[in-house]
Amino acid sequence: MKNAVISISLLIMFVSFSMAKSIYQNQTAEIKKIKESISEEQQKSLLLKRIAETESKIKRYSHLFSSTKENRWLLRQLSSIADQTGVSLISITPRLPKEGDKYVLLSVVAEIRCDYDQFGNFISKLESSPQLIRLDDVRLTVIRESREGLDLAAQLKPLANVKLIVSTLYLK
C-alpha cells in the first residue's frame, strides 16, 4: 500500500512537472513573440518619426517655392547668363520671398566658378537685363589649383569661386 501511495505521488509529481514545463515553454514562446512584436513596433515608430521629420522639412522649405513661376524665371535667367559667359554654375539656392505692401522680393544664393573676365561679363549681363535683377552681395575667393595642360595665358588667369546673392522685385 505504501508503494502504491509513493507510485501515485511520483506520478502526480511527474504529471505536475510535465504540465509546468509545458506551461513554461508556452509562456517563453509567448514572451519571445511579444519581444519580436515590440522590436517591430519600435522600428515602425522610428520610421514614422523619420517620415514626420521629412514632412516637417518639406513644409519648412515648401514656402521657398511659393511663387514658383517667378523663382523658375530667376533661376533660368541665371543659368542662361552663366551659359552665355562661360561661367560654371555650381549651385543655386532659393531664399524665402519677402513680401512688401506692393511687391515681392525674390532672392537666390548662387555659387559660380569663373575667371575674372568671365565674372565681369556675367555681372555686366546680369545687371543689364531688361528685367530688374539686383546683385545684393558678392564674395569672391581665388582658387589656387594646378591647371596643367593649359597654355601659359590660360594658366595665368586666376580662377575664382564666387558666392553671390541675386534678387528681383515683382509687383503684386
Per residue in 108-136, pLDDT (tens digit) is: 999 998 888 899 999 999 888 877 788 89
| pLDDT tens by residue, 34-63 | 999 999 999 998 988 988 888 887 677 655
Q: Which of 170, 169, 167, 142 is nearest to 156 (CA)?
A: 142
Q: Which of 172, 171, 167, 170 is nearest to 77 (CA)?
A: 167
Q: What percent of the chain has pLDDT over 90?
A: 24
One-letter amino acid at 35 equals: K
The CATH architecture to which 66-171 belongs is 2-Layer Sandwich (3.30)
Residue 110 dihedral angles phi and psi, to the nearest 5°: -120, 145
Rounded to whole angstroms, how far apart are CA atoms 64 and 104? Answer: 13
One-letter amino acid at 103 equals: Y
Structure confidence at residue 68 as a pLDDT band (50, 70, 90): very low
Q: What is the mean pLDDT of residues 139-162?
A: 67
Alpha helices, H only, the chain:
2-62, 68-85, 116-127, 152-156
